[in-house]
């Protein structure tokens, strides 16, 4: 775990120091990849050992998989910069910010505000899971479409918006029912 923490702390700094692709950038990209893949392995092991399967835990598991995808795409920027299409940068951004960071926030939120405490009909763990599936599928479709220069980017974005609306519905219901607002 120390390796994950050290590489996760130094990787972004090295990337920022040499953002235009020199050798320091390449080392930073390797460090960042080690950190994200290591974190995914550690979380996956923790999830496997958990005695209860919750929607928040499954969501963070999906998020770390997006982190691995973002890392693999990101390492290609350092290894083969001339072979990377311009749309790959936007796909990387979507996978990292929307997938890894965004879905981690959604998963952690579901831990603190479990959807199962809602008493309103149709707002439960299944609704929360549908939000995650829509968000994740939308982001994945969008990233693939960007990489393939396919016109299906809109489908991914629409699915992501549907997922965001479902997520907001779950949280809004919990907050209004429990007086958290």
Dihedral sign from CA coordinates of 145, 148, 149, 150 = negative
**The pair of three-digit structure tokens given for residue 65, joined into one six-digit string:** 């998989």
Check whether residue 6 and residue 29 sit in a common domain: yes
Check whether residue 144 and residue 79 sit in a common domain: yes
Contact 114, 128 (CB under 8 A): no
Check whether residue 38 and residue 84 sit in a common domain: no
Check whether residue 35 and residue 58 sit in a common domain: no
Check whether residue 40 and residue 70 sit in a common domain: no
**The pair of three-digit structure tokens given for residue 42, joined into one six-digit string:** 């550690």
For residue 95, the 8-state DSSP code is: I
Check whether residue 95 and residue 83 sit in a common domain: yes
> What digits encode the pLDDT tens for the residues 158-174?
999 999 999 999 999 99
> What digits encode the pLDDT tens for the residues 32-80?
999 999 999 999 999 999 988 899 999 999 999 999 999 999 998 888 8
Check whether residue 25 and residue 90 sit in a common domain: no
Domain of 109 in residue numbering reads as 52-178
Check whether residue 77 and residue 159 sit in a common domain: yes
Calculate helix-pair angle for 103-112, 55-79, nearest 10 degrees: 160
Number of domains in the chain: 2
Check whether residue 14 and residue 66 sit in a common domain: no
Distance between CA 92 and CA 132 in Å, rounded?
Answer: 19
Check whether residue 10 and residue 46 sit in a common domain: yes
| Secondary structure (3-state) at 60 | helix
pLDDT band, very low/low/confident/very high, at 117 (cuts 50, 70, 90): confident
């Amino acid at each position: 775990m120390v390796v994950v923490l050290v590489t996760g702390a130094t990787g972004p700094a090295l990337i920022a120091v040499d953002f235009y692709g020199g050798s320091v950038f390449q080392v930073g990209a390797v460090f960042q990849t080690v950190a994200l893949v290591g974190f995914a392995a550690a979380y996956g092991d923790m999830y496997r050992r958990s005695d209860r399967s919750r929607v928040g835990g499954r969501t963070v598991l999906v998020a770390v998989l997006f982190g691995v995808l973002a890392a693999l795409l990101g390492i290609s920027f350092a290894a083969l910069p001339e072979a990377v299409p311009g749309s790959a940068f936007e796909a990387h951004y979507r996978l990292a910010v929307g997938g890894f960071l965004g879905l981690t926030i959604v998963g952690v939120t579901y831990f603190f505000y479990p959807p199962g405490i809602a008493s309103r009909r149709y707002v439960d763990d299944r609704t929360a899971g549908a939000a995650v599936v829509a968000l994740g599928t939308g982001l994945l479709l969008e990233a693939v479409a960007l990489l393939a220069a396919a016109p299906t980017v809109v489908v991914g974005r629409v699915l992501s918006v549907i997922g965001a609306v479902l997520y907001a519905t779950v949280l809004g219901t919990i907050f209004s029912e429990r007086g958290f607002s």
